[in-house]
Structure formats: structure tokens, C-alpha cells
Amino acid sequence: MLKVLVTFAVKDELVEIKWPDVEFYYLRTGIGKVKSAFRVSDAINQVQPDLVLNLGTAGTITHQVGDILVCRRFIDRDLQKIKDLELEDEISTADLLHEKGYCSDWVGEATCNTGDSFLTELTDVDGDVVDMEAFAQAFVCLDKQIPFISVKYVTDVIGQNSVAHWEDKLADARMGLSHFFNVLYDKI
């Protein structure tokens, strides 16, 4: 039986997934890269999952509220600020996912930009969506050679009252993500 660790930052992002022959484990990581990395690492050691699936909400500059994007490439916007130190600020989980044969038919390819701040003002940001946890989780998973994928529901457009929109859109995000995973189940 396939073991999938489903991660989400806050309880209002939780979407229960039920697929045959898959055992799901759920982990609320909390907000931010440090908490997220610590809790995902600990859960991987306990659960020994075949796949880590991060789901949740994200902001955007280029997409619309309600879009669902599948992320296999991740950027750490905090590390990008100090590029001169040659730190690893971009990673991809696509090769490991492909090698294991997971999630190859999941559409909506995107890049997630992660940082330890909630962006509320329009700024130059690489990537399709922004969050506060995915890069850290992807980093831990790559280090442990566990396939990782992130599915994000766009709740807000940066620079357009982001915090209020995020809070108002959590129920919509749960419904949208639930529908996304139900459609995937129908394809199995």
C-alpha cells in the first residue's frame, strides 16, 4: 500500500483525500519554513512515506483567485536576497517524482516561491505562486530522497488586500482542492 504524507500549514487548509490502496497521514506543519521543515523531517522519520504531498493556499501576481497549480519547482525568496553567498535557492522535485513514477499526469505545472513573510505589496517575485512553507518541505524531502509535490489553490492576488482575501477564501480553497483530488481519483 502506498503511504502518502499530506502536509498543510493551518487547520483550515486540511482536505481529506480518500483513494483506494493509499494510506494517508496528515500533518499540520504550522506557518513558516523552520516549523515546516522540522515537522516534516520528524514525520518522515516516523511514517516513512513513499510520497509527501503538500497542499494549501498561495498568493500570486500572474494567476487568478481559484486557480489550482501543481508545483514541482521551488524558490526560496529569502535566500535569493543573498545570492552572492552561492546558497541553493532553487530546487526541483520533478526528477525524483518521475523516477518513482508519481504524479506524472497531474497538470497545472508551476513554480512556488517560498519566504518567511506574507506578501501584501506588489513586488518582483519569481514564480507562479507564493507561500511560506513549500521550499523547506521540498528541501527536506530531496535530502531524504522522498518524492515531493505541492498543490496550491490561489486565494489572493498580491497587492490587492491579500491578508483579508486569504482569510475569506479558505473555505473556497478547501472545496477547490477537494474537487481537484476527486477528479484525480476518477482518473485512477
Phi, psi of 165 (to 5 degrees): -65, -40
Task: Enter the DSSP assignment of 65.
Answer: T
- Report yes or no: 181 and 102 within 8 Å, Cβ to Cβ: no
pLDDT tens-digit readout, 4-46:
999 999 999 999 998 999 999 999 999 999 999 999 999 999 9
Inform me whether the pLDDT recorded for 134 exceeds 70.
Answer: yes
Rounded-to-integer distance, Cα 59 and Cα 101, Å: 29
Inform me whether the pLDDT recorded for 118 exceeds 90.
Answer: no
Look at 157 and 188; give whichever has higher pLDDT.
157
Which residues face 6 on adjacent strands? 26, 53
Look at 183 and 125; give whichever has higher pLDDT.
183
Nearest Cα residue to 123 out of 157, 151, 155, 92: 157
